[in-house]
Amino acid sequence: MGISEMLLNLQLDSIIAIGVTLVAAFLIVRLTSRFLKNSQIKWDLDVTMVQVLNEIIKYTIYLIAAAVILGLFGINLTAIAVSLGVVSIVVGFAARDTLSNFIAGMFIFLDKSFRVGDIIEVSNQKGKVVKMGFRLTTIITYDKKIITIPNALFSTNPFINHTASDTRRVDLDIVIPYTMNLEEISKSLEDMATGCDWVLKKPKPKVIVRELIDVGVRLTLCVWVNDPWRVTEHRSALGKAAKKLLRDENTKYE
């Protein structure tokens, strides 16, 4: 067998080994992900923990596969580690955003700032958390838009976890003319809100007088609900009911 044939066989063996390594890594990641999802359903595990654990296993397997492939080419991993020390500054500048997102993701998971299923709001974006990763958090908005947020954003901007509290207040601004009786209208609005089955009885609905303006008195009807995901829907329903009540009340003063 000639030298050229030996090199060809060596190259073919390396290509086959690389292919087997990549396929094995892909299959292990898929099987592990499926196993974790089935375990989460079977034993009712925390969704956030399962997703983070899946991320750790996935990246670990890919790193091992990369190390195996480099070893097939005879590349000394120790030498690479030493070389990384030389170029660490360059790589650090290039990957600083990825690193900051990774660190922020770890703190979110450890601090339990929010988890999958929570309703959060950051940078005027509000939605339900559907996926948490080390770099990115994915939310779905009320109108079904998918938004991907870098985790570092949560460490530099204040955010709201609407699910952290058992209840959520819904405010509706209302303007009534000076011809209407303020006390009667306030009482009627509170009674109307109390009659809505989705409004909590405690705390009780309350009308707050905000200010006097040219066209009348500005009020805010405050009610409490236990579903932060339906705040917009509840505010709309409250507005329709208030409009009907004010229209009926207005006929008494005509």
- 0.95 exceeded by pTM: no
Q: What's the rounded mean pLDDT across residues 128-156?
A: 87
Contact status, residue 108 vs residue 151, Cβ threshold 8 Å: yes
Mapped onto helix, strand or coil, the DSSP state of residue 118 is: coil
Instruction: Give the per-residue pLDDT at 58.
Output: 84
> Model confidence at 35, in pLDDT bands (50, 70, 90)?
confident
**Better pLDDT: 52 or 95:** 52
Q: Is the pLDDT assigned to residue 243 strictly greater than 60?
A: yes
Q: Report if residue 201 sits inside a domain.
A: yes
Full residue range of the structural domain in which residue 152 is found: 106-161
Give the separation between CA 135 and CA 151, rounded to whole angstroms. Answer: 6
Mean pLDDT in the chain? 79
Q: Do 82 and 127 share a structural domain?
A: no
Q: Which residues of 95-131 are buried (b: 16+ CB within 10 A; e: fewer)?
A: eeeeebbbebbeebbeeebbbbebbbebeeebbbbee
Q: Prior bond to 150 cis, omega within 30?
A: no
Q: What's the rounded mean pLDDT across residues 78-86?
A: 54
Q: Report if residue 219 sits inside a domain.
A: yes
Give the separation between CA 236 and CA 191, rounded to whole angstroms. Answer: 17
Q: Which residues of 168-190 are buried (b: 16+ CB within 10 A; e: fewer)?
A: bebebebebeeebeeeebbebbb
Q: What's the rounded mean pLDDT across residues 112-122?
A: 84
Q: Is the pLDDT assigned to residue 48 strictly greater than 70?
A: no
Q: Do 236 and 177 share a structural domain?
A: yes
The tokens describing 245, both together, are 């009540």
Q: Report if residue 99 sits inside a domain.
A: no
Q: Report if residue 54 sits inside a domain.
A: yes
Looking at the structure of the chain, the number of domains it has is: 3
- The CATH number covering residue 245 comes to 3.30.70.100
Range of lowest pLDDT (109-118, 171-180, 240-249) = 109-118
> Model confidence at 78, in pLDDT bands (50, 70, 90)?
low
